[in-house]
């Protein structure tokens, strides 16, 4: 393929996924840190939520930084999901006749769940935004203008907590493979030792994220965090 463009290749798509994935990862870690403020009580949590909105003022307008962040995340989401769809379709077309018997020797479960796991996360994300950001739905009918109260009300319902925990498991699995995979895609894992390190790192971060996010809902359900 003479005169081919590097940016048109599957590997370029993967690079897009890796970069957007890492942007998500940065967001998720920051978001988790914010959530954990819930343990510091009503005021500290709401202060944090407010702070996000006034960040950068008066250089930026109200919610300016938040919107920059949001735009960045939306763009990443578009890139990430677009690349995922294209690669998924390519992979589906690469083997149209399935094996009668196929073992995926050498593959981790997490690596085989990336696509459906990603879809799970996407569905959750929509619900999550409806719940807390766009729709501000308080399922127990309480206040929606106080972030802390909205959160406690939500997770007081066991099934809301369950949905949330399931989503965090999906996210954990996605990151477990995704982080090392992104490192590999970016070409950082050229030796067995580096590969091992990236895998351990991915696993640890995945664990931190899924546990870190699950603590608050579980604490609410357990009555540790209350109104």
Partner 1 sequence: MNLTLKIWRQPDAVSAGAMHTYQLADVSPDMSFLEMLDVLNEQLNDQGEDPIAFDSDCREGICGMCGLMINGDAHGPEVTTTCQLHMRSFSDGETITIEPWRSDAFPVVKDLVVDRGAFDRIIQAGGYVSVNTGSAPEAHSVPVPKDDADRAFNVATCIGCGACVAACPNGSASLFMGAKVTHLGLLPQGQPERDERVVNMVAQHDHEGFGGCTNIGACTAACPKEIPLDVISQLNKDLRTAIKHGH
Q: Enumerate residues 6+ apart whose C-beta is below 8 A from 118.
A: 81, 84, 174
Answer whether 157's CB lies under 8 Å from 213's CB. no
Nearer to partner 1, 120 or 189 (CB): 189
Selected from 23, 32, 38, 114, the binder of partner 1 by CB under 8 A is 114
Answer whether 21's CB lies under 8 Å from 205's CB. no
d(CA 21, CA 27): 10
Nearer to partner 1, 59 or 193 (CB): 193
Output phi, psi for 18, to 5 deg.
-65, -45
**How many residues form the binding site for partner 1 (CB under 8 A)?**
50
Least distance from C-beta 27 to ligand HEM, angstroms?
A: 7
The closest alpha carbon to 110, from 24, 15, 178, 19, belongs to 178
Selected from 114, 167, 168, 220, the binder of ligand HEM by CB under 6 A is 114
Q: Could you say whether residue 145 binds partner 1 (CB under 8 A)?
A: no
The closest alpha carbon to 139, from 124, 151, 123, belongs to 151
3-class SS at 180?
Answer: helix
Half-sphere exposure of 58 (CA within 13 A, CB side): 0
Nearer to partner 1, 42 or 197 (CB): 197
Nearer to ligand HEM, 8 or 62 (CB): 8
Radius of gyration of the chain (CA): 20
108 binds, among ligand HEM, partner 1, none (CB under 5 to 8 A by kind): partner 1
Interface residues with ligand HEM (CB under 6 A) are 14, 17-18, 21-22, 24-25, 28, 77, 80-81, 84, 114-115, 118-119, 121-122, 125, 174-175, 177-179, 181-182, 185
Interface residues with partner 1 (CB under 8 A) are 1-2, 4-15, 87, 90-91, 93-108, 111-112, 114, 177, 180-181, 184-192, 194-195
């Amino acid at each position: 393929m003479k005169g081919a463009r590097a940016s048109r290749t599957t590997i370029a798509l993967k690079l897009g996924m890796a970069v957007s994935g890492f942007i998500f990862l940065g967001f998720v870690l920051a978001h988790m840190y914010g959530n954990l403020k819930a343990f510091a009580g009503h005021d500290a949590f709401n202060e944090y939520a407010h702070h996000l909105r006034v960040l950068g003022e008066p250089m930026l307008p109200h919610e300016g930084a938040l919107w920059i962040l949001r735009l960045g995340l939306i763009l990443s989401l578009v890139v990430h999901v677009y690349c995922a769809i294209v690669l998924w379709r390519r992979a589906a077309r690469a083997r149209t006749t399935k094996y009668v018997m196929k073992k995926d020797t050498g593959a981790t479960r997490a690596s085989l769940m990336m696509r459906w796991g990603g879809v799970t996360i996407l569905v959750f994300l929509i619900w999550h935004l409806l719940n807390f950001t766009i729709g501000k739905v308080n399922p127990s009918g309480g206040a929606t203008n106080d972030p802390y109260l909205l959160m406690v009300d939500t997770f007081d319902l066991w099934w809301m907590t369950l949905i949330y925990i399931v989503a965090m498991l999906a996210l954990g699995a996605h990151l477990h493979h995704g982080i090392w995979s992104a490192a590999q895609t970016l070409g950082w894992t050229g030796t067995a030792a580096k590969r091992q390190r990236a895998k351990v790192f991915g696993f640890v971060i995945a664990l931190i994220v899924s546990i870190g996010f699950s603590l608050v809902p579980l604490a609410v359900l357990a009555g540790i965090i209350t109104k």
